[in-house]
């Protein structure tokens, strides 16, 4: 590849055309994102944009060298070694949210299991612990009887039902 330096630019003759680069741009990717050749200004009052060429092409901040002989690949890689702060924050928030949701679902399942009445003994314990003015409980050998007693002239049973060992109601 032949080159000719003129006015701070190196003209490289490719197969079909000339490519114009700055002297330092040979070590960088020749994409417009890495080399700034013009500047622009936007007038806030009119909204017009004025663009002017720069006297010397400049490398933009963050331009990554692409050609360095005898250097490890990680020095010329365009991929950053660190995760972007915004991406990291979103990733950490997402993982914390997933963890909280999983913990909440597990706690809910545990509470449901703890509150489930699976036997007549569980029901009798529940009725004994949560006394009610409306229902009175009588524990018999194979059943639990719930009664509602009204105290009009003489006490009488207004409602009653029996719960058997298999939790069926009679």
Q: Where are the domains of the chain?
A: 3-81, 120-164
Query: What is the tens place of the pLDDT at every residue in 156-169?
Result: 888 888 988 888 88
Residue 28: left if φ>0, alpha if ψ -120 to 50, beta else—which one? beta
Say if residues 40 and 49 touch (Cβ distance below 8 Å). yes
> What pLDDT shows up at residue 99?
96
Query: What is the tens place of the pLDDT at every residue in 31-42?
Result: 566 788 888 888
- The CB-side HSE value for 170 (13 A sphere, CA atoms) comes to 9
Say if residues 65 and 76 touch (Cβ distance below 8 Å). yes
Confidence grade of residue 110 (pLDDT, cut at 50, 70, 90)? very high
pLDDT at residue 5 is higher than 80:
no
pTM, two decimals, is: 0.36
């Amino acid at each position: 590849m032949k080159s000719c330096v003129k006015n701070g630019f190196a003209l490289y003759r490719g197969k079909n055309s000339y490519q114009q680069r700055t002297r330092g741009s040979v070590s960088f990717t020749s994409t417009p994102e890495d080399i700034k050749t013009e500047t622009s200004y936007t007038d806030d009052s009119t909204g017009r944009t004025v663009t002017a060429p720069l006297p010397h092409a400049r490398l933009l901040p963050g331009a990554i060298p692409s050609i360095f002989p005898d250097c490890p690949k990680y020095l010329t890689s365009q991929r950053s070694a660190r995760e972007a702060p915004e991406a990291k924050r979103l990733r950490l928030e997402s993982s914390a949210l997933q963890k909280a949701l999983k913990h909440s679902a597990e706690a809910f399942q545990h509470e449901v299991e703890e509150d489930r009445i699976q036997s007549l003994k569980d029901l009798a314990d529940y009725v004994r612990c949560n006394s009610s003015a409306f229902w009175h409980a009588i524990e018999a050998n194979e059943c639990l009887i719930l009664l509602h007693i009204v105290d009009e002239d003489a006490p009488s049973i207004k409602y009653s039902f029996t719960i058997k060992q298999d939790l069926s109601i009679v």
